[in-house]
Structure 1
Amino acid sequence: MPKPIGHSSRYNPAIDGIRTLAVLAVIFYHMKLAWMPGGLLGVAVFFTISGFLITGNLMRSWYRHGNLGLKTFWLRRLRRLMPAVILVVLVVWALTPFLAANKWADYRFGGLTAIFYVNNWASIVYGDSYFDQFEASPLEHMWSLSVEEQFYVFWPLVLFLFLVLARGRKATVVALTMVLAAASFGWMAYAHSLGYEATRIYEGTDTRAGSLLIGAVLAMLVTRRSAENGEETTSGRLFAEIAGLAGVAVVVGMMLRTDDNASYLYTYGLVLVGIASAGLLYGVSHQRTLVGRFLGSHQLPGWGSVATRFICGTCR
């Protein structure tokens, strides 16, 4: 996550440290390393981070200006994400005639779905399995960025509706968001019980929104209306210490022990990863905690800041 250039943004290097660990987990998963079968959970960690950062930005705007600044918000997301996506797609298109000419039609279509951020739904509709790693398109992994961009488009509108209906009462907005997250996770579990194909459940925006919304709930809880309007506060270093250590233990433990075929992922596993990721985020938001100091060291954020753009995008 590059350091923010605006005075209203806050850079926490420990969040880049979390991203680095998530990036490495995803890479190890696709390398099929036996000792980390659950590295795909790194994407779930990214989703919770994104929900946290995006909602924090929106809530600060609400406290400062009485609105979410949607036009500016959406333009910033577009400017931040689109150039990297277009570059990746153009490189793939340029190399395809030389390296995989017989796949040109598929990759051309895949590039368009990536640019318009509907890659996940295209994979679902056309039956492309995310878990068939050796046959996947080089653009197949754009699905997670598509989920995030769809969230960036629709969540601010839903949040604005919640704020208006609740007349700005944060407790009500938090409760409504928790209900929405529970509905997403509940639909995931129900779809799994009905025997839906794994890619449909794993890549669906509706089924994966819960992880993003857990991060959104955390952002609402730690963002306060103050004299400076919208300052983030984390009271209680001891609680933050416990939450951070417990969060990293659960996330790493599940990455080391969870197989991508585990059915519990779609019932309670991804819920647990989301909650643990929120605990980890709360822990590092108090930067003097042990986990905050370790993940905020200069080495970890440096390794992950560039790679994150091509896995789940940046959100600040």
Structure 2
Amino acid sequence: MTKSVAGTFIPGLNGLRGISALLIIVYHAKVLSLPGGSLGVDVFFVLSGFLITSIISAELEQTGRLNFRNFYAKRALRLFPALALVVIAFLLFSHFVFTLMSPHDDLQASVFTALYLMNWSRAFGWARFNVLDHTWSLSVEEQFYLVWPLICIGLFRLPTLRAKIICTSILLIASIVIRYILTFKGASTDRIYNGFDTRADDLLAGCLLAFALSSARIDELCRQKMPISLRFWTPVSVVILVLHAMFVDQLSRFANLIGFTIVQIAAVILILNVLYRRTGLTNSILSNKIVVWLGTISYGLYLWHFPTLMFLQKLEPRPWQLLGYNFAVTLVLAVLSFYLVEKRFLQLKRYFVSRADQRQLNGSVEEYAA
């Protein structure tokens, strides 16, 4: 399963990214009461862990080694150009149009963003709230990309798949335990919400799923049993996510102790639904061409929506107008970013493909594994 996922474009997974991005945009606009609307980030994390582990596992299974040069070059080509564009645009706009912060704060925020340290800046209050605050999640993912390939190599030296799954589960539980300890010790909500150590369980939930599905036996069992059980569990998961978004504050103690775990389980079920059921209302929505396309440009949507929102708020529009303006401007910027910048750099991935894996990158899972 890992091999097939790593070489196949699955529209529903892209659609899941698109829906998550839309949820985050609505959440930040604050036009609806969605205290837990940022769960879209958690879904992103779970999906990223699943996709990246699938890619790494496929290469390790084929070659017995991981080409770090290729891996990190492709990650950089996928992620950094669009991020650099946003940072440069932010600095120019702040300097020549108007700024929400001081020049020192602008520069500080840009440095933390470019170095993928925004999560720790928010966790420990190194800088005040700023227009690039939302890049904390990109910092968490980048820190994951730095350590997870090394861990994967160690895991693949273990004799059995069960051992890999057990070790990954231990890491996941360790992240949860750290979050519990910090919660009961009264650590700040910023420390718990933004720390890589306290949020790694989201990513590891996806990693665990990827390892489990790499077993031909588990894959076959899922193909036989999942379509029936998912008829019940998929709508239940959707309802849980909706209720969580409506009623659970992501900064609350409940979220720290059980909320994040609930979202992880629901996200895993949705991924399984896309992989094994392929039918039903949920998959129809996730596989809709518009939703899939939004998933394709979801990285740009996420990058641009928050700075755009912060600047548009200065115009003091009504809440629903703000959401409409923000979505329209963000959509235009994300489209320009993807088709004029991101795609050009993605084409360079062909120079970083291993000899054992010469498939066409177009349509590959790597196109939307951010």
User: TM-score, normalised on structure 1?
Assistant: 0.87
**Cα–Cα, structure 1 residues 142 and 254, in superposed 2: closer, same or farther, change >3 Å?**
same
Equivalent residue number for residue 54 of structure 2: 56
2:265 pairs with 1:267: no
Give ranges in structure 1 of 5+ residues lacking alignment. Answer: 1-6, 130-135
Equivalent residue number for residue 132 of structure 1: none
Instruction: Quote how far apart the aligned CAs of 1:125 are.
Output: 2.9
2:234 pairs with 1:248: no
**Cα–Cα, structure 1 residues 12 and 103, in superposed 2: closer, same or farther, change >3 Å?**
same
2:148 pairs with 1:150: no
Equivalent residue number for residue 315 of structure 1: 369
Higher relative helix content: 2
Equivalent residue number for residue 133 of structure 1: none
Equivalent residue number for residue 170 of structure 2: 179
Instruction: Quote how far apart the aligned CAs of 1:101 are.
Output: 7.3
Equivalent residue number for residue 207 of structure 1: 198
Q: For residue 121 of structure 1, what is the amino acid of its counterpart?
A: W
Secondary structure of residue in 1 paired with 2:240: helix
Contact 1:25–1:36 (CA under 8 A) maintained in structure 2: no
2:141 pairs with 1:125: no
Query: Residues 1-316 of structure 1 correspond to what in structure 2 (within 5 A)?
Result: 9-97=7-95, 98-100=97-99, 102-127=101-126, 136-164=129-157, 166-167=158-159, 169-224=160-215, 234-236=222-224, 237-286=227-276, 288-290=278-280, 291-309=282-300, 311=302, 314-315=368-369
Q: Would you say how many aligned residue pairs link Structure 1 and Structure 2?
A: 299
Instruction: Quote how far apart the aligned CAs of 1:232 are.
Output: 9.6
**Cα–Cα, structure 1 residues 102 and 19, in superposed 2: closer, same or farther, change >3 Å?**
closer
**Cα–Cα, structure 1 residues 108 and 192, in superposed 2: closer, same or farther, change >3 Å?**
same
In 1, the alpha carbon distance for the partners of 2:6 and 2:91 equals 39
In 1, the alpha carbon distance for the partners of 2:193 and 2:33 equals 22
Instruction: Quote how far apart the aligned CAs of 1:253 are.
Output: 2.2
In 1, the alpha carbon distance for the partners of 2:200 and 2:88 equals 29
Which whole-Å deviations, capped at 9, do the CAs of 1:136-188 have from their partners, x for residues lacking one? 31111110001001101101111211222x13x11110111011001101111
Give ranges in structure 2 of 5+ residues lacking alignment. Answer: 304-366
Instruction: Quote how far apart the aligned CAs of 1:314 are.
Output: 4.8
Contact 1:222–1:232 (CA under 8 A) maintained in structure 2: no
Q: For residue 315 of structure 1, what is the amino acid of its counterpart?
A: A
User: Which is greater in Rg?
Assistant: 2
Q: For residue 211 of structure 1, what is the amino acid of its counterpart?
A: D
**Cα–Cα, structure 1 residues 225 and 77, in superposed 2: closer, same or farther, change >3 Å?**
farther
In 2, the alpha carbon distance for the partners of 1:241 and 1:115 equals 43
In 1, the alpha carbon distance for the partners of 2:290 and 2:214 equals 28
> In angstroms, what is the RMSD of aligned CA positions?
2.5
In 2, the alpha carbon distance for the partners of 1:84 and 1:273 equals 28
Instruction: Quote how far apart the aligned CAs of 1:191 are.
Output: 0.5
User: TM-score, normalised on structure 2?
Assistant: 0.75
In 1, the alpha carbon distance for the partners of 2:100 and 2:161 equals 54
**Cα–Cα, structure 1 residues 87 and 46, in superposed 2: closer, same or farther, change >3 Å?**
same
Which whole-Å deviations, capped at 9, do the CAs of 1:53-93 have from their partners, x for residues lacking one? 00011111122111233321111001110100100000001
